[in-house]
Chains A and B, each alone.
Chain A
Amino acid sequence: MVALTERGLRDFDWQTAVLAILISFFGVWQIHNAVPSENYWSKQIFGIAVAFIAFLIVAFTDYRRLIDAAPLFYAFGLLLLFLVLTPLGVEINGQKAWVRLPLVGQFQPSEFVKIPTVLMLAKYFGSRKSSVLTLREALVGGAIFAGPLALIMLEPDAGQAITYFPILAAMFFLSGIKIRYVVIGTVLAAVMVPTAYIVGVKTGKIKRYQQERILAIIDPDRVDPRGYGYHTIQSVITVGKGGISGIKGDPETSQSVLKFLPEPQTDFIFAVTAENTGFIGCVSLLLAYALLLSRMIASARQASDRAGMLVIMSIVCGLAFQIFMNVGMALGFLPVIGVPLPLMSAGLSAILSTFIAIGFVVSVRMRRFVN
């Protein structure tokens, strides 16, 4: 860990830090709008404070030393994910995604384990020499990736599991996977997903409720406005209701306060934002995300080593993917999957892991001139 030297302060990425803080406090405001009667928003401020400290610690620590220790973190991460499945895990709505530890309290390991997974993959792919991704490298990378993924699927938490894929995709893509494999993969996915869906429906492997979730996106009003389409419809109504500049007047009658909008402070925080700040607020938020991502990508380009670049880019891909999934769900064109909106959704685990991830980005950037 480097001391807070003058040079350290000079090289510190103020822009990324300020953007992240701004977005997260914008989030606090929306959490308050979502459920004014509860103290989620004040808890979130506390979370941001803790997260910011963690962010500073990571940012001022040399990421290369952390990458060196990646196997340790990785093993620890797997242990945490394993603990979830033991009696220490907390079951909520048929999902065991949480674990309660003495002193630490209750948290969601799948949020944090992304970081060791990124570090482990970055360590492996950062040290390789070949210019084109080999099959062997792909298999080893896949194996590293498969560990946490399998444990998460056992919880089961498909929403979290999906957010892991962009990490691996970024690793492969930036490790020189041949473009033709990318093309073949994309085409195969485009063909296989609908085929698998149809076969799954025909053979009964895809359950009725799962079908409804998919159909709800295509035509939420027709599928079952009172059942699976309900969340989608209510979210779309909430977003649309915001109009250009958001609702004026009585917040007591907002969609979230009247409980029409489910999970307003977490999964559907974007709909709350849309209702309260309208098109102007939403576009501003998306622009802020775009700025943050650009800044991070710029940092990746300047990274002093390959591992650092991979860490940043996989974090970028993970964040971009989560933003797209979450907002797409709120806007009614992606299925309802419990993916939090980075920096916005209420939740200590999510805010903490996101700030730690951004801490790594800043740490890499601060050492761009170091060899």
Chain B
Amino acid sequence: MKIYDHVQNLSARVGAIQVIAFVLLTLLGARLYYLQVVNGEYYSDRAENQRIRMIPIPAPRGAIFDRKGRILVDSRPIYNVVISNDGLKHAAGADKVVDYSQGLRLEPQFVTERLSVLKKQNEFESLVLKENATIEDIAWVEAHSLELPELRVELQPQRHYPLGTTLAHVLGYVGEISPKQLESDTYKEKGFRPGDIIGKGGLEQYYDEFLRGRPGYKKVIVDSRGRVQSELETVSPQSGQDLVTTIDLDLQMTAEDQLAKSSTKRGVVIAMDPNNGEILAMASAPSFDPNIFVKGASTPEGRKQIAEYWKDETRPLLNRAIQGRYPPGSTWKIPESVGALQEGAITVAHSNILCGGGITIGNKLTRCMNNHGSPPLDTAITRSCDGYYYRLGLKMGIEGIIKMVETFGFDKRSGVDLPNEKVPQTPKTWMKYVLKHEGKWSDIRTVYASIGQDTVVVTPISMLRAVSSVGMRGKEYIPHFLKEFKPIAAVGEEGDPNYIAARAGFTFQHPEPTLIELQPAQWDLVLKGMWGVVNAGGTAGSIRIPGFDIAGKTGTAQVAEVGKDVGANKDHSWFVSFAPAYKPEMSVIALIENSGFGAANAGPVAKAMYESYLSRRDGQLPATQEVAAR
């Protein structure tokens, strides 16, 4: 101990070092207590969260069939390059954009967008970076698995529309849920997440809930680089339900074909079974290719094409059948005739009204195409006498016309099972506006409204529905595409936490018609007039099919003023019909935009539809001519 003499307080100094060492060790102990004893569970959870990852197994979407089981839409497996929101490796975002865009041949702009979507996801979820990966892409991902462990290749189903532009408006398409949709409460409540595929437009959208499957997932343990180490559990997906539609693909092809051959290549054809509202065909031209939306949304060319669709002045994305509103012209005379009989403006015994070659309101003469004398209702329909309806409209009054609008449901959507259907506009819609700006509803507006001009614009579907109900003597059905949703079996055992219940099959839920009341003799009179249009020297005599009597009505809707109907602003040509006249099996409406006279343009289209129908119904056109019994 003698060394302690040399230096002052040596023992104390050694002691001080000892105390400091112990204090430091105690400090470490306290920190340990805080981390392990106080917060142990918190860190345990954090560790668990970062090593457990859910890899979604996408559920195949239900296929869509026509009424005869022919495939309209299905899904095919493709390879996608998927990026996982790894939580650790995206610090150097800019470098990655260059890596990804060069390696996978993507636009840097697109990669940046995808990464920003990814950032909104929860940690450890994943997003498709490149769809339809080629062999080169897959090889590149495999070759760079060390540097870019967040990328992986997955086999995923992709929606495929084998018919291309055919039926596109009805089918719609699918796409990734948009950021805007994600924000909205309806989608939030249902638990949608970025990257989810949903129906956009058409049946894909309307029946999305049923077509969409329930995705499964694999719960795996990953290391810090995101590489799967082991699987904990697998929950199988449940496919979506297959949809059988009422579409008859043969009729649909005929309809598309007819529109393609028409003079302006713009228009609508709808064929429906008036006995139940099943839509057999619905074509709207011009059309678009839904595959572009599915496959092209991630490629520059595809995006350009989509932008062109939106910019195109002929509006190929518009489903004219339910979203186009056109003045109905003379086709309007059919519901109006029913309305007039219902309200007693005319009777079966006394239905004659003066034509007079037109009518003078104030000092302005509004002309009829001919002077038809003083025809009865059926002749007025057959010859499409405007003068008759000018006076009938005035007799009914605008209130009478509005009542008719309500009777046939022109003030509402038809109820067709497609999204974004437009409501027709009628005097009922405009009454308030006109009264406010003009003080009163003038007679000239009533006159115009009685021949389907001016304040009247309707959707083709609403007109077809109304006229079909005339053929059915008052039974007005809701037009629809849903024939049947097939059931889907349950996934897993009942009581299992991952159990997904079976989904029952079902058919269209609103099969009962609304009824329009009229005396049988009154129906007969209207039907006689419509029968005559095609079969008794009427405006559409040229489309007569011997042995299969079409009842119909032509319409030539003015776009510009009379006499100026040339060029691009030519009249819209309508033909609305059903056949056979007294026991309808099919109703057809055809509209060719800006093509001119109704009988000349829309009429033959309707005829082609009936011929197509007949060729399959009987195998051949009937040889014997049946004349209408009545």
Contact = CB atoms under 8 A, between A and B. Distances in A.
B89 A286 contact: no
A282 B90 CA distance: 34
Interface string B75-97: 00000000000011111000000
Interface residues of B, number: 46
Contact of A286 (B18, B28, B36): B28
Given A129-B6, A313-B17, A323 B36 contact: no
Interface in A257-285: 257-260, 274, 278-279, 282-283
Given A173-B17, A176-B8, A286-B29, A260 B40 contact: no
Interface stretch (A95-103, A197-205, A234-242): A234-242
A88 B374 CA distance: 119
B31 A331 contact: yes
A317 B21 CA distance: 8
Interface in B201-229: 221-225, 229
Contacts of B47: 237-238, 241, 255, 260
B36 A174 contact: no
B501 interface: no
Contacts of B229: 252-253, 258
A226 B46 contact: no
Contacts, number: 145
A297 interface: yes
Given A174-B7, A174-B14, A282-B36, A259 B46 contact: no
B21 A243 contact: no
B9 to A, nearest CB: 8
A303 interface: yes
Identify whether the interface residues of B are mostly helix, strand, loop, or mixed.
helix
Contacts of B10: 174, 176
Contact of A241 (B1, B25, B37, B40): B40
A170 interface: yes
Contacts of B223: 257-260
A333 interface: yes
Interface string B1-44: 10100111011011001101110110011011101110111111
B51 interface: yes
B25 A323 contact: yes
Interface stretch (A7-15, A45-53, A67-75, A287-295): A287-295
Given A253-B51, A260-B51, A274 B36 contact: yes
A225 to B, nearest CB: 8
Contacts of A278: 36
A276 to B, nearest CB: 12
Interface string A296-312: 01001111011001000
B36 A239 contact: yes
B121 interface: no
B3 A305 contact: yes
Contact of B36 (A227, A242, A303, A316): A242
B615 interface: no
Contacts of B14: 174, 297, 300-301, 309, 313
Given A252-B229, A302-B1, 17 more contacts: A131-B6, A132-B7, A132-B8, A174-B7, A226-B91, A253-B229, A257-B223, A258-B222, A260-B224, A274-B36, A279-B37, A283-B29, A286-B29, A286-B32, A297-B18, A301-B14, A320-B24
Interface of A: 129, 131-132, 170, 173-176, 224, 226-227, 230, 234, 236-244, 252-253, 255, 257-260, 274, 278-279, 282-283, 286, 289-290, 293-294, 297, 300-303, 305-306, 309, 313, 316-317, 320, 323-324, 327-328, 331-333
Interface of B: 1, 3, 6-8, 10-11, 13-14, 17-18, 20-22, 24-25, 28-29, 31-33, 35-37, 39-44, 46-47, 50-51, 87-91, 221-225, 229-230
